Amino acid sequence: MTAIDDRVTGIFENLEVPEGFKAELIRGEIVMTAGPDMVHNIIVEAIRDQLPRARWHRLTTQDIDLPGLTSEPQPDLVVFEREAYEGPGRLVPAAVLTLVVEVVSKTSVLRDYRTKRELYAEGQIPAYLIVDPIKGISVLLTEPGRTASGAPDYAVERTAKFGESIPVDPLGSMIDTSEFQTYS
C-alpha cells in the first residue's frame, strides 16, 4: 500500500456517513450511495432466509477485507460458515467468505457487474451472486481465477430469470427467486 492508499483508508475509516447512505472503499475511491429501494431489501431478506442460520452467518452491511486491493466493499449480503471466523472488528476477511451478493440498483450497474466482479474474483471469494431487478435476472459467478490475459474473473457464469431457482454449489443450496421483484 502507498502513503496515499494509507491516507484514503484512514479517511474512510473515520468517515461519518450521513443516515440513509452507505459508503464503500473501491479501488482507493470512496463511493457513497443512497439507501436501497424496498425491492432491494426484500430480495436480500429472501436470500438470507433461504440459508440455514445454524450453518451460515448471513450478514448485511458488513465490510469485507480484500488485502492489497485498497478496497473495503460492503456487499448487500455476505455468507460464511459459522466456524470460519468469529473475530471482532469492522472487516471480515475475504478468505473466509463463501458467497457475496449484490443487488443491482440504477446507479450501481457498472460497479456490480464489472468492478466488484473483478474485486471479488481477485479476493478468491468462491461465489458471487448478482441479482438484477432491472433485467429480472440473477447471475451466479463461481470458480474465481484469472483470464488468459491475467485479469481476475470467474470461470463459471450461470444466469436464471426471476422465478427460476439457481443452484449455489459452494453453499450446497438452491436459491429460489420466485419472490424477487423488478423495480417499477
| 130 in any annotated domain | yes
- Where does the pLDDT of residue 4 fall: very low under 50, low under 70, confident under 90, or very high at 90 and above? very low
Distance in angstroms (rounded) separating the CA atoms of residues 138 and 13: 32
pLDDT digits (tens, 9 = 90+) for 66-123: 988 888 999 999 999 999 998 888 899 999 999 999 999 998 999 999 999 999 999 9
For the cut 80, the answer to whether the pLDDT of residue 5 exceeds it is: no
Structural domain boundaries enclosing 87? 36-176
pLDDT of residue 6: 66
- Is 13 contained in some domain? no
pLDDT digits (tens, 9 = 90+) for 10-59: 777 777 877 877 777 887 777 777 778 899 999 999 999 999 999 999 99
Whole-angstrom distance, CA of residue 115 vs CA of residue 23: 16
Greatest Cα pair distance, the chain, in angstroms, is 48
Q: What is the mean pLDDT of residues 141-157?
A: 97
Q: How many domains does the chain have?
A: 1
What is the reported pTM? Answer: 0.89
> Across the strands, what pairs with 33?
22
**29 inside domain:** no
pLDDT at 173 over 50: yes
Burial 90-129 (b: 16+ CB within 10 A, else e): eebbbebbbbbbbbbbeebeebbeebbbbbbbbbebbbbb
pLDDT recorded at residue 93: 95
Q: What is the pLDDT of residue 9?
A: 66
Residue 132 lies in a domain: yes
- The pLDDT score that the predictor gives to residue 70 is 84
Domain assignment present for residue 135? The answer is: yes
The answer to whether position 124 is within a domain reads yes
- For residue 168, pLDDT over 70 is answered with yes
Return the CATH number at 87.
3.90.1570.10
82 within a domain of the structure (yes/no): yes
**Within a domain: 73:** yes
Work out whether the CA dihedral 166, 114, 37, 94 comes out positive or negative: positive
